[in-house]
């Protein structure tokens, strides 16, 4: 079993910054992807950013140049540095771990960006 706990969400003004953190525990393998999804009200959940254990990264186009994903593999932790936040970034952000063809999600942390 895998357990993911997010932290770092909150309320920020447009143009501001936030950093999300996610700590994974349990049966964590050495090869996996860790990333962040988000779901805005009335919208489907979307992948925001992912980083593989090998170091490759991928971002949704809408956050490129503003968000940075990083990992501390020894701590099974993933971070999402979010800069130049926009009201449309408002959503619940979910940490994700993908390994052995299984997706695990945390309970989510709310990010609200006011205009």
pLDDT band at 73 (very low <50, low <70, confident <90, very high): confident
State how far the Cα of 92 lies from the Cα of 112, in Å rounded to an integer.
8
Tens digit of each residue's pLDDT (9 = 90 or more) over 26-58: 999 888 999 999 999 999 999 999 999 899 999
Radius of gyration of the chain (CA): 13
The whole-chain average pLDDT of the chain stands at 96
């Amino acid at each position: 079993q895998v357990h993911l706990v997010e932290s770092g969400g909150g309320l920020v003004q447009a143009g501001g910054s936030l950093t999300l953190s996610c700590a994974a525990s349990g049966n964590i393998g050495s090869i996996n992807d860790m990333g962040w999804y988000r779901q805005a009200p009335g919208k489907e959940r979307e992948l925001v950013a992912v980083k593989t254990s090998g170091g490759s990264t991928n971002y949704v186009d809408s956050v490129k140049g503003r968000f940075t994903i990083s990992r501390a593999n020894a701590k099974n932790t993933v971070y999402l540095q979010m800069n130049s936040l926009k009201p449309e970034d408002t959503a619940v952000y979910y940490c994700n771990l993908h390994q052995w063809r299984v997706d695990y999600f945390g309970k989510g942390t709310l990010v609200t960006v006011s205009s």
